[in-house]
Structure 1
């Protein structure tokens, strides 16, 4: 625990990005957030389901009731990227839905056709902010801008405004919760990280995901890294063999639904 506290303090002093040295910072932050550096209460998928009524989630790939079957959610951050088309081909072939937490600048701007395809093929399209700023380090006005710009860009392309977001590095606080509530957004964290920011070894990425997978899990991957997309078919096949059913995050919570301002994490 002393090592974890030390790493948490180092992260508080760091400045992360998605390029160069920033890749290491983002990666370190992913591990730490998943290990408990984040603050505040979270709601588990099973709790959210208990707050809903009767019925099952309907989606392009069929109805599913995660109260009855062993569900797991595949999520991808920081896209779209040059690798997203291949990823979408794989998901279509495997008949697996995913949740995409997209960046605005240099991503949604660059690949609007891929955003449209994600929505058209039945995936959940959500926000990862406009420019990957760490929301706990900027002003409320800047937080709002990071979220509103992304939501507007996604709505312009898909016709639907996002209801989910994932804070960069998993960093959030009361101010972020309040602004998300005002904007109609729920925050979604994760339970499985493959550390794909730190390796191009697809077999290693696969092993890491499989070692951490559990019922109601939320898997965090990034399709912009070169080793990730080649690992996806093996991850899907192995988890299906274990009896898992892949769902989007809203399906994972159904018949409950994500409540704006709340943070969801297995």
Structure 2
């Protein structure tokens, strides 16, 4: 999810993507499940699958949690990747196309090369529920093509901007072979650069099978990541990508996944 304000890389000045109140309402709906859409929990995806070899952790037994980052890559992503590599933590990156994938192609390649899951956050962060099917398709196809060109692998996961989705979005995602992934933990890092506060918010909400939403485009987020990792590991958590969280099940196109 991208915040209601975003800094452009060219000027460094904020601009409004939507009204603050509207964005807050959308976030509340998405997080509380009041948006009226069926979602599938990671445990349900696992239970529906047959026994299989998979991943680096068996989340049927281990206390798993997934770190996810939206709206990159950015100038902060290289440092984030260094931290994840040092601590041997996989993550899932929901990438934006315009001004991000197209600006930092080498970081997209690095994410894939270092074992992270590379997924889509649309091309230009448009609110998909306001678009026609052809426009939704365009928002999803463009980053898919670029990610596949850079990594050799077409994304199978996407995260709708602001968590806003509906039946039309589900239908287009199903057509494109993509599942939608929401979250259970948000630090609201678009509201603060206080890394200690970001860490505190994540730790207060963390639970087994959790999906943590962060944004590596904000200055306070990446410095908070080492503390988040260390504290959660002390609590016995194992970090996995979203596909590993679902394994041995697999994300089904057109479905929405949220703990």
TM over 0.5: yes
CA distance in 1, matches of 2:247, 2:34: 28
Q: CA deviation at 1:51?
A: 1.2
Partner of 1:237: 230
Question: Aligned pair in 2 of structure 1 residues 160, 93: CA closer, same or farther (>3 Å)?
Answer: same
**Number of residue pairs aligned between Structure 1 and Structure 2:** 248
| Kept in 2: contact 1:165–1:187 (CA 8 A) | yes
TM-score of the two chains, using structure 1 as the length reference? 0.90
Instruction: Please say if 1:203 is aligned against 2:196.
Output: yes
Partner of 1:177: 170
CA distance in 2, matches of 1:96, 1:46: 21
CA distance in 2, matches of 1:194, 1:246: 17
Partner of 2:11: none
Counterparts of 1:91-240 in structure 2 under 5 Å? 91-240=84-233
Counterparts of 1:82-97 in structure 2 under 5 Å? 82-97=75-90
State the SS of the aligned residue for 2:17.
helix
Q: CA deviation at 1:220?
A: 0.1
TM-score of the two chains, using structure 2 as the length reference? 0.92
1:139-183, CA deviations, whole angstroms, 9 ceiling, x for partnerless residues? 111000000001001000000000000000000000000000000
| Kept in 1: contact 2:182–2:257 (CA 8 A) | yes
Residue in structure 2 matching 1:257, options 244, 250, 258: 250
5+ residue gaps in structure 1? Answer: 1-14
> What do you get for the CA RMSD once the two structures are aligned?
1.6
Question: Aligned pair in 2 of structure 1 residues 90, 100: CA closer, same or farther (>3 Å)?
Answer: same
Q: More helix by proportion, 1 or 2?
A: 1
Residue in structure 1 matching 2:51, options 49, 54, 73: 54
CA distance in 1, matches of 2:28, 2:79: 27
